[in-house]
Amino acid sequence: MIDLSLTPEQQLLKQTAHDFALNEVQPIVEKIDSSDSHVEPWDLCKNFFSKGVDLGFTLLLLPAEYGGKGKKCVDLVLVLEELGAVDVSVASSYFNLTAAMALFITRAGTSEQKERILSKVSNSEPFLFSAAESEPNVATSDMFCPMPDAKIGMKTFAQREGDTYILKGEKSLLVTNAGIADGYFIIARTDEDKPMRDSLSLFYVEADTPGLKFGERTSLIGWKPSHHAAIHLDNVRVHEKNRIGQEGQAAELLMLLPEVAIGLAASYVGLARAAYEYAVDYAKKRVSWGRPIIEHQAVALKLADMMVNTQAARLMVWDAACCAETNPFLAATVKAPSSKTFAVDVAIKNAQLALEILGGYGTTTQSKAGKFLNDAMIGYSCDFTREILRLGLVMSM
């Protein structure tokens, strides 16, 4: 028998995340959403991030021996759904990315790297990660290109020089946390003659490394509380002790981390739920033809679809999270991409239906419908796009 009920400990974790999201995150998100784009969101978010770290949200997946909570992926998704219901970018950019990259070090790092890097993550000071692969003049979808052509894909190069590498190149203006993070995972090629998938290596670069430069904050159509910018790698010298894994192993190593896409999916379940709840609330209050619009079947059935699809997306996320513990390969190749692409589709559909149910009010910036829709649409292309995730699924068949 499959038991999907939460343990008392998980119920408490979910409630703690719910209260934190409403009391600490929501007021800041509302402030950012209603201000102009010149506000630096991290200045306002730093404080609640720090409180979230104190509550252990970024340490959930870290084993106890590294100062973590030793919890499972399903525990993280409970937290991320609650945070995502308030703001999907806060859930994804700050909490999910940092929790997942810390876990990644435990899986792919040397003992020295685990000791050195994870001690900072489990410190009481908040420590933020960023991971950069996208480049300005390269389709990120090339990461999935099956053609063994060395000319296709990333151009950033890491030239070996003794026991160091010199990194040169540009990363796209969408890199999450670029310019505000403390530690950067940067992918670069270490062999120009091999196809991209066999020539990518991963480097850990501390924020204050000379030559690591950042562009201005990129203004997005949604995800207002998060910070994205380009990275310029101007002869950045990185010691080989900061190479994670072997040369040419980066693509393979990142397969070890289905938790990023699963966490993103959980955040989008949160958004889908929030759009549904917002629409229900409005539909109970708005009166037309002498009764609340929820009593008109045309409206009620939309709400029922929103609820059904949200539940389906949540179940896929929980399934993927459980699979991450038992069969990480299946989780990475099938469950994580399936749940991410489905959860985003549901979030987009729910945001669209919420906007419809709110009528003209839904088109104003006083309502949350526009925020839901813009934040949802961003899910289409953050991580990998809907087409690429589906093509990846076809490749695994």
Looking at beta carbons only, is 75 or 133 nearer to ligand FAD?
Answer: 133
Distance of CA 179 to the CA centre of its chain: 17
Calculated CA dihedral for residues 66, 68, 73, 79, nearest 10 degrees: -150
CB of 215 to ligand FAD, least distance (A): 13
Smallest distance, ligand FAD to C-beta of residue 176, A: 3
CB of 380 to ligand FAD, least distance (A): 8
Q: Between residues 96 and 279, which has the closer beta carbon with respect to ligand FAD?
A: 96
Our CB check for ligand FAD shows the closer of 10 and 381 to be 381
Q: Are 102 and 57 in contact (CB under 8 A)?
A: no
Q: Interaction with ligand FAD in 114-143: which residues (CB under 6 A)?
A: 131-134, 139-141
CA distances from 121 to 199, 263, 391 (A): 29, 18, 35
Subset of 89-108 contacting ligand FAD (CB under 6 A): none
Q: Which two tokens stand for residue 236?
A: 């950045």
Enumerate residues 6+ apart whose C-beta is below 8 A from 297.
Answer: none
* Spatial separation of the C-alpha atoms in residues 214 and 264, rounded to whole Å: 25
The binder of ligand FAD chosen from 52, 156, 385, 392 (CB under 6 A) = 385
* Element containing residue 31 per DSSP (H, E): helix 26-33
Q: What angle do CA 206, 95, 189 make, to 5 degrees?
A: 40
Residue with smaller CB distance to ligand FAD, 143 or 357: 143
Distance CA 22, CA 14 (A): 12
Nearer to ligand FAD, 194 or 386 (CB): 386
377 counts as binding ligand FAD under rule CB under 6 A? no
CB of 93 to ligand FAD, least distance (A): 8
User: Using CB under 6 A, which residues numbered 192 to 231 contact ligand FAD?
Assistant: 223, 228
Residue 384 in the binding site for ligand FAD (CB under 6 A) = yes
Query: By C-beta, is 69 or 228 nearer to ligand FAD?
Result: 228
CA 112-116-122 angle, to 5 degrees, is 130
Q: How far apart are CA 160 and CA 163, in angstroms?
A: 7
Rounded to a whole number of angstroms, the minimum distance from the CB of residue 329 to ligand FAD is 22
Q: Site residues for ligand FAD, window 148-177 (CB under 6 A)?
A: 172, 174-176
Name the site residues for ligand FAD (rule: CB under 6 A). 131-134, 139-141, 172, 174-176, 223, 228, 378, 381-385, 387-388, 391
